[in-house]
Amino acid sequence: MNRSIPAPVHRRSGHWLAALFTLMTCCLPAAWAADSGFAQRPQVQAFIQKMVTQDKFDRAYLEHLFDKVEPQPAVIAAMKRPAESLPWYKYRRIFLTQQRIREGVTFWRQHHAALERAQKTYGVPPQVVTAIIGVESFYGRRMGGFPVLDTLATLGFDYPPRADFFRRQLAQFLLLARDEGIDPLQPKGSYAGAMGQGQFMPGSYRHYAVDFDGNGQRDLWNDPVDAIGSIANYLARHGWQAGGFVAERARIDGRGVEALSSGLKPSLMPTALHAAGVRLDKPLASKNLYAWVRLETAHDPEFWVTGQNFYVITRYNISALYAMAVYQLSEAIQSAYQQQARAAEVADKHAP
């Protein structure tokens, strides 16, 4: 059964593509300019053989798909300038906007029942799931315009720094399409091949997406309920602790904190943080482990103590900037949501 997904990719004519490649030869890898057919590349043929042998795909079917692949130079350009390379004070401006907060409240109100059920099922609070959807796809409105098959093939065969990873994701995408009844030529996603409202990579889609509304489909493009359940399931499976510590701004006395390990995974006892001059308004649970992050601002840096749940958010995107944006957006959405709820309660009390 073919699921309803974003509109089919409109493929460019061969004449137009040939002219484009002629103009761009100086800018593209040599393999691209010399290709007579993507499916005939030796590396692609080896990949096809592996999928035929290990996963029982039909060779003719895969060669047909790869013959339609159009390399996407824009995705490689985007991989070289990710938003996470920005300093925090610039990165923060992208996501911590009044519009994103306001629309996060609207999303929460619209999907209140699903978000509450996700919290009961997986322990992840509504504001965190909402914030991730807000950061990843602006609540489903910006899910990416790159053909996923083209993107993953481009990165898997023409982006050596991470080719192995993207070939694995390409294999997962083909398996996902077969499992879910999706035409591989149709889905669109990010410049890295992430898909849907939660921007799941194919491997994550296969292993963590859930049919949260029980309609027999796992649809992360069109079904916000499935997206909500899938994100909560992903975080829970990666160790989210219900009601657990995420992050808190710290004051620093002296320079001792610079000598502490600063990885994303919590490894420091509260006593070590305190001895290094880290000061918080609230005491930390003595038996838990923590980490710390330094964030660049336009003036003095910010220091934050982070916990297990912050680390879990970085499993979604391995970046302290990303996790902090999600956390701060979630806090802002929750505050605005509660403020609206209180205002509505007051209005009801004073209604004639």
Q: How far is CA 186 from CA 9, 147, 183, in A?
A: 5, 7, 6
Q: What is the DSSP string of 261-309?
A: ---SS--B-HHHHHHTTEE-SSPPPTTS-BEEEEE--SSSPEEEEE-HH
Q: Which of 84, 136, 180, 296 is catalytic?
A: 136
136 belongs to the catalytic site: yes
**Per-residue pLDDT, 160:** 96
**Per-residue pLDDT, 342:** 87
**Per-residue pLDDT, 344:** 77
Q: How far apart are CA 336 and CA 221, in angstroms?
A: 27
pLDDT in tens, the chain (352 residues): 434 343 333 333 333 333 333 333 334 444 443 344 899 999 999 999 999 999 999 999 999 999 999 999 999 999 998 888 899 999 999 999 999 999 999 999 999 999 999 999 999 999 999 999 999 999 999 999 999 999 999 999 999 999 999 999 999 999 999 999 999 999 999 999 999 999 999 999 999 999 999 999 999 999 999 999 999 999 999 999 999 999 999 999 887 888 888 789 999 999 999 999 999 999 999 999 999 999 999 988 999 999 999 999 999 999 999 999 999 999 999 999 999 988 877 776 666 6
**Per-residue pLDDT, 350:** 67
Per the CB < 8 A criterion, the answer to whether 69 and 174 are in contact is no
N-terminal to C-terminal alpha carbon distance within the chain: 54
* Closest-CA residue to 74 (of 142, 138, 159, 2): 159
